[in-house]
Amino acid sequence: MAQVLLAVSGAGGAGKSTLCAFAGQELARRGRKVLLVEMCAGLRGLDLSLGLEGQVVYDLADLLLGRCPPEKAAIPHSRLPTLQLIAAPADGDFRPGQQEFGNFLRWARELYDILLIDTPGSFGPGFSVPAACCDGALVVTAPLPVSMRGAGAVSARLREGGVTRQRLVINRIPRRLPPGGPRDLDEVIDRVGVQLIAAIPSDPAVDGALAAGGELPPASLAGRAFANLAARLCGDEVPLLLE
C-alpha cells in the first residue's frame, strides 16, 4: 500500500514542484510506482517540468468530479512508465472535496508505492484536504529567512493537524550562504524545527532540465542529491550531505 507524502513549504520559490519532479523520477528509476498529484489549482506546471506538455486531457478536478476514472487522469512519463502525473485543475477556483479526495486516495494506495502531493503555498483546501489524509510531509525550504519562516509555519500547522512525520529538504543551497541569512545548515534545521532528510545544492543543471522537460544528469550535484533523497525515502542508508 502506498505511502502518501505532501511536499509543502509555506512560501513560494522554495522548490516543492522541483522536488516532486526530480524525486519522482529518481524513485521511478529505483523501480517504485510513483504518482505525482498536483494541487495548485489554476497554476499547473509539473506537466512542463516532466516533458508532458500537451498530454493533459483530464486533470484532478475531472477526476474528483467524476468526469473520468482515475486511470484516465494519470499520465505516464514517456521515459519512466512507473512515474505518473495527475495535473492540477485548470480552473483556479476549484476546491477539492474531502470525501472525494479520500476516495481517490483509497484507489491510489492500492496501485502505487508512493504518492507525492505538490501542495500550493497557502493553507487553503489544496493544502488542508490532502493534509487530512496523508502519511507524512517533506517540508521544503531554501536557506533564506522568509523561506525558513514559511517552512516553520507550515510545519507547525501540520503538527496541529496530527501530521507528525515530517522531514526537511533544504533546497537551492549556494556554495556560500549569503550574509544576513543562516550561518550554516544546522541553523536552518533549528529554525524550521524538522529533521533533515536531504540537502540539495544549487545547480544550473536543474533549470536546464526543467526548461527542457528532461532529466537531471546523474553525475550532476543536484542529480546525486535527488538520487540520495530517493534512496532515503526507500529506507536505504546513504550519505545525507554531498561532500
CATH code where residue 190 lies:
3.40.50.300
> Is-above-0.85 flag for pTM?
yes
Q: Which domain holds residue 196?
A: 3-233
What are the Cα distances from residue 240, in Å, to 149, 180, 243? 23, 26, 10
Asked if residue 243 is part of any domain, the answer here is no
Q: Is residue 5 predicted with pLDDT exceeding 60?
A: yes
Asked if residue 156 is part of any domain, the answer here is yes
Q: Cell numbers 509543502 label which residue?
A: 8
* Mean pLDDT confidence for 157-164: 98
Q: What angle is formed at CA 178 by the lines to CA 172 and CA 180, rounded to 5 degrees?
A: 125
Asked if residue 239 is part of any domain, the answer here is no
Q: Is residue 13 predicted with pLDDT exceeding 90?
A: no
Report the distance separating Cα 6 and Cα 30, nearest Å: 20
Total of domains in the chain: 1
Asked if residue 241 is part of any domain, the answer here is no
Of the candidates 62, 96, 58, the one whose C-alpha atom is nearest the C-alpha of residue 74 is: 58
Strand order in the sheet with 196-201: 75-76, 83-86, 34-38, 114-118, 3-8, 136-141, 166-173, 196-201
Show the cell assigned to 167: 522531514
Residues 140/16, Cβ–Cβ less than 8 Å = yes
104-152: pLDDT as tens digits: 999 999 999 999 999 998 889 999 999 999 999 999 999 999 999 999 9
Asked if residue 242 is part of any domain, the answer here is no
Asked if residue 31 is part of any domain, the answer here is yes
Q: What was the pLDDT predicted at 242?
A: 52
Other C-beta atoms lying within 10 Å of the C-beta of residue 93? 8
Show the cell assigned to 202: 544549487
Q: What was the pLDDT predicted at 194?
A: 99
> What is residue 76's three-state secondary structure?
strand
Q: What was the pLDDT predicted at 206?
A: 96
